[in-house]
């Protein structure tokens, strides 16, 4: 009997398009001698819809289901995804996917799943919480001011002026893919930036802007954690926003990144430390800023990073000698291992 791999994709977050692309890549790459694949699309409204099933690799030219082609009549109860012995891969990003909610649901269903557990997902989804937690173990991060609730805006603007240097970055605590983020060059724009971010969350982070390269490390494992050599996101735009990331394709990757050996060693060290500190499981991509002077700061931990065949996370592992299909297999095994520990 082949093991069933269930893919959950789409989702309620603004990052659903990335999720669909990642799920399609996984569907095409799974080792079909070991698995059959069942897929469920989660709509913008949060409905679960049964989509395709595969016993063998879909043909190159076979069109896979994406948000636009999903048959909405096939809506099911979320718990109907349950199947004895199946492993779930929530290829979902952002709120209601990467924040612990799906993970908790799968634990209630007693299903093994790939990726972050409840703690790792919920802590890393909240940029303020992540900062607080990583401060306690000395992971280098840029200075920041946390703004909890719009009532404190006036007071916090003062705090930003006293403690940070413009430009600053304003970010909703709970988003991803640059949604709601703005770069603020002077204090008179700060209130507008804060109001924009508050549309997405009632917790907002203001960060010191740094002029830096963006260098990322892929982490894999449960208790035994492995980190790749870092890769660089080479941008020809100053601010790596949603459009430049996913739509304009204005990004290339340099793997391994050209940084000196000592910086590389530190990035890998802090990526693993950060991952262990947030109780990481399965995988994460740890994103750093590295300045010309060689200073580095951890920017964020993405607990379910973009996972298309051409995304940074899989490419970093490929560079270490672990091809995409084997990486998926390794993640399935880690998911089952975490499940056995829980049960």
Q: Quick check: 172 and 201 in contact, CB under 8 A? A: yes
Minimum distance between the CB of residue 80 and Mg ion, rounded to whole angstroms? 31
Please tell me whether residue 14 binds ligand ADP under the rule CB under 6 A. Answer: no
Minimum distance between the CB of residue 205 and ligand ADP, rounded to whole angstroms? 8
Choice between 35 and 171, CB closer to ligand ADP: 171
Q: Which residues of 16-46 are buried (b: 16+ CB within 10 A; e: fewer)?
A: bbbbbbbbbbbbbbbeeeebbbbbbbbbeee
Q: Quick check: 283 and 220 in contact, CB under 8 A? A: yes
Minimum distance between the CB of residue 277 and Mg ion, rounded to whole angstroms? 17
Among 177, 277, 308, 311, binds ligand ADP (CB under 6 A): 177
Please tell me whether residue 171 binds ligand ADP under the rule CB under 6 A. Answer: yes
Minimum distance between the CB of residue 285 and Mg ion, rounded to whole angstroms? 9
Binding marks (x or -) toward ligand ADP, 135..164, rule CB under 6 A? -------x----------------------
- Mode of pairing for the β-strands spanning 87-90 and 3-10: parallel
Binding marks (x or -) toward ligand ADP, 260..289, rule CB under 6 A? ---------------------------x--
Please tell me whether residue 330 binds ligand ADP under the rule CB under 6 A. Answer: no
Among 123, 181, 304, 332, binds ligand ADP (CB under 6 A): 181
27 binding partner (options Mg ion, ligand ADP, none; Cβ < 5 to 8 Å by kind): none
Choice between 239 and 310, CB closer to ligand ADP: 239
Any residues with CB less than 8 A from the CB of 6 and at least 6 apart, and which? 37, 38, 39, 40, 81, 83, 86, 87, 88, 89, 111
Collapsed DSSP state (helix, strand, coil) of residue 248 = coil
Q: Quick check: 34 and 5 in contact, CB under 8 A? A: no
CA diameter of the chain:
64
Choice between 12 and 28, CB closer to ligand ADP: 12
Q: Quick check: 37 and 89 in contact, CB under 8 A? A: no
Per the structure block, which two tokens stand in for 226? Answer: 């492995």
Give the single-character DSSP code of 206. Answer: E
Footprint of ligand ADP (CB under 6 A): 142, 169, 171, 175-178, 181, 207-210, 214, 239-240, 287, 299-300
């Amino acid at each position: 009997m082949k093991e069933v791999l269930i893919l959950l994709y789409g989702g309620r977050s603004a990052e659903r398009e990335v999720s669909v692309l990642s799920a399609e890549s996984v569907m095409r790459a799974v080792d079909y001698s070991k698995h059959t694949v069942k897929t469920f699309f989660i709509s913008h409204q949060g409905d679960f819809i049964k989509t395709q099933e595969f016993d063998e690799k879909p043909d190159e030219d076979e069109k896979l289901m994406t948000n636009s082609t999903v048959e909405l009549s096939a809506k099911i109860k979320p718990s109907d995804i349950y199947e004895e012995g199946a492993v779930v891969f929530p290829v979902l990003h952002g709120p209601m996917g990467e924040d612990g909610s799906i993970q908790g649901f799968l634990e209630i269903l007693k299903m093994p799943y790939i990726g972050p557990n409840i703690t790792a997902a919920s802590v890393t989804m909240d940029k303020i919480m992540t900062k607080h937690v990583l401060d306690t173990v000395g992971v280098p991060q840029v200075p920041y001011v946390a703004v909890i609730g719009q009532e404190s805006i006036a007071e916090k603007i003062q705090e930003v002026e006293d403690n940070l240097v413009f430009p600053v970055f304003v970010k909703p605590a709970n988003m991803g893919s640059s949604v709601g983020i703005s770069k603020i060059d002077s204090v008179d724009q700060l209130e507008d930036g804060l109001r924009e971010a508050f549309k997405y969350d009632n917790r907002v982070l203001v960060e010191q802007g740094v002029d830096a390269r963006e260098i990322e490390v892929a982490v894999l494992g449960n208790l035994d954690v492995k980190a790749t050599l870092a890769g660089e996101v080479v941008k020809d735009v100053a601010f790596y926003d949603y459009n430049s990331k996913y739509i304009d394709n204005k990004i290339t990757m340099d793997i391994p990144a050209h940084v000196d050996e000592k910086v590389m060693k530190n990035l890998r060290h802090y990526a693993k430390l950060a991952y262990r500190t947030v109780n990481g499981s399965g995988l994460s991509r740890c994103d750093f800023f590295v300045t010309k002077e060689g200073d580095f700061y951890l920017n964020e931990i993405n607990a379910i990073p973009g996972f298309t065949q051409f995304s940074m996370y899989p490419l970093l592992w490929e560079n270490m000698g672990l091809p995409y299909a084997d990486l998926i297999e390794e993640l399935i095994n880690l998911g089952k291992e975490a499940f056995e520990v829980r049960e």
